[in-house]
Amino acid sequence: MNRAASQPEAKSESAKDVRRVSVLGSTGSIGKSTVDLLAGHRDRFTVEALTGHRNVQLLAEQAKALGAKLAVIGDAALYEELKSALSGTGIEAAAGTDAVIEAASRPADWLMAAIVGTAGLRPTLAAIAQGTAVALANKESIVAAGPLMLAAVEAAGATLLPVDSEHNAVFQVFDPAQRGGVARIILTASGGPFLRKSRAALATITPAEAVRHPNWSMGAKISVDSATMMNKSLEIIEASYLFNLPDEKVDAVIHPQSVVHSMVEYIDGSVLAQMGAADMRTPIAHTLGWPERIATTGQRLDLSGMLSMQFEPVDTARFPAVALARQAVRAGLGYPAVLNAANEVAVEAFLRGQLSFDKIEILAEQALQRVDIGRISTLDDIIALDAATRTIAENSLRTLQ
Ligand SMILES: NC(=O)c1ccc[n+]([C@@H]2O[C@H](COP(=O)([O-])OP(=O)(O)OC[C@H]3O[C@@H](n4cnc5c(N)ncnc54)[C@H](OP(=O)(O)O)[C@@H]3O)[C@@H](O)[C@H]2O)c1
């Protein structure tokens, strides 16, 4: 694996020094789990910056609890509220999109990129440009910018540490010295809340049903993505980029219990898996401690009960999103950004009650057919393509309602 960080090197004394960290999206599901780990290891980390978007009160609480130097709220209209919540603490307050990017650019040893959606793209790249070790939860940014992000990592001498439980699992069992012996990566998928529902029954799914994931507690967008299996689709693209493998070598398998978080199969038939509780604090702790290990503050896998594990193929007729991922990644740079942006528009519309659940992938597929990709060679090209896709997808919405 040459894209994400290579596996742990010999333990160095400096690795035990207190490390300076920042968290983008600290008020979200991944952000809160990260803050929980940082609170459990106060002696090992100092906090430079935390960012949220609208949840001022939680952001201020987190900044005070962790003694952060800077707290940034993305929504500029909330600046006064943040300033007043932090008054007398000595914690700097800032607001707006540029302030989030500035926070990401501050020197840090480790940064959690946990903003949801392509809104995380510029801040994540700003951290990469500083040569920071970036724990990447914000999958939409690598899906959209893939090779450009990896080139930026290379140029800055930064490190990418995968946080997505599947990619973190692969990272833990992928031996870069045996890259030539890797037959395939197998990403596990819980199948989400509608695994056994017929395609016809998906038409009437409500947002409340879609965000109720059976195994994981997550933000609304990724919960809907899990329910459509678009999440697995984005993850196939993410894995193909991160581990530098063609998508034919990235498979997905349904594993409803979410105990095995993913596997690497080698050509000799060996299959190495990483297991753990369905608690994001394990992969986050892995990246936070890397290249060492630190204790999780979350749940541990309980092997004392009757642990049963099932695996079954993904039914792509019921969940067509997986095929869209392969189509997009094979078509080349730009197409995954279109798939991702159209999906973001579709999920937001579904959550607002303006699009039925079974039309989410249809909107994404239409965008792949309709958007003119043009020539993509820079981050600005990706951002322009993301915006153009959103306009086309918003227009398609009207015909699909
Ligand atoms: N949750 C999981 O278990 C999980 C697992 C694997 C990967 N991921 C990935 O991790 C990322 C975060 O997921 P999540 O579940 O933690 O999402 P979430 O709970 O919705 O949190 C999103 C975070 O991003 C902030 N945010 C939203 N819009 C923003 C904008 N325009 N500019 C700046 N910040 C913005 C939110 O701020 P406010 O809340 O203050 O508005 C919040 O801090 C996603 O890319 C997701 O795919 C999540």
pLDDT band at 6 (very low <50, low <70, confident <90, very high): low
Ligand 1 atom 44 nearest Cα: 116
Together in a domain, 259 and 158? no
Q: Where among 163, 191, 226 does a domain terminate?
A: 163
* pLDDT tens-digit series, residues 229-278: 999 999 999 999 999 999 999 999 999 999 999 999 999 999 999 999 99
31 lines ligand 1 (CB under 6 A): yes
Together in a domain, 106 and 138? yes
Together in a domain, 259 and 359? yes
Ligand 1 atom 43 nearest Cα: 25
Nearest ligand 1 atom to the CA of 30 is 16
Together in a domain, 77 and 174? no
For ligand 1, the distance from its centroid to the CA atom of residue 26, given in whole angstroms, is 8
Together in a domain, 203 and 86? no
53 lines ligand 1 (CB under 6 A): yes
Residue of 22, 24, 27, 30 with the most ligand 1 atoms within 8 Å of its CB, for mutation: 30
Together in a domain, 352 and 381? yes
- For residue 385, being part of any structural domain is answered with yes
Q: Where among 145, 163, 181 does a domain terminate?
A: 163
74 lines ligand 1 (CB under 6 A): yes
- For residue 250, being part of any structural domain is answered with yes
pLDDT at 17: 85
pLDDT at 307: 76
CATH number at residue 123: 3.40.50.720
pLDDT band at 400 (very low <50, low <70, confident <90, very high): confident
96 lines ligand 1 (CB under 6 A): no
Using CA atoms, how far residue 199 sits from 86, 211, 326, 327, in Å, is 50, 18, 21, 21
Q: How many domains does the chain have?
A: 2
* pLDDT tens-digit series, residues 370-391: 999 999 999 999 999 999 999 9
- For residue 48, being part of any structural domain is answered with yes
- For residue 220, being part of any structural domain is answered with yes
Domain range for 25: 13-163
CATH number at residue 333: 1.10.1740.10
pLDDT at 2: 39
Residue 11 has pLDDT above 80, yes or no: no
* pLDDT tens-digit series, residues 356-374: 999 999 999 999 999 999 9
Using CA atoms, how far residue 283 sits from 1, 126, 342, 370, in Å, is 18, 23, 28, 37
Q: Are strands 19-24 and 110-113 parallel, antiparallel or unpaired?
A: parallel
- For residue 294, being part of any structural domain is answered with no
218 lines ligand 1 (CB under 6 A): yes
Q: Where among 113, 145, 163 does a domain terminate?
A: 163
* pLDDT tens-digit series, residues 61-119: 999 999 999 999 999 999 999 999 999 999 999 999 999 999 999 999 999 999 999 99
Together in a domain, 140 and 265? no
Together in a domain, 37 and 125? yes
Contacts 24+ apart (CB under 8 A), 201-204: 202/318, 202/357, 202/358, 203/356, 203/357, 203/358, 204/356, 204/357
In degrees, rounded to 5, the angle at the alpha carbon of residue 272 between the alpha carbons of residues 154 and 275 is 95
- For residue 3, being part of any structural domain is answered with no
pLDDT band at 1 (very low <50, low <70, confident <90, very high): very low
Residue 10 has pLDDT above 60, yes or no: no
Tell me which residue of 116, 262, 278, 92 sits closest to 185, measured CA to CA.
262
Together in a domain, 237 and 181? yes
Together in a domain, 207 and 320? yes
pLDDT band at 214 (very low <50, low <70, confident <90, very high): confident
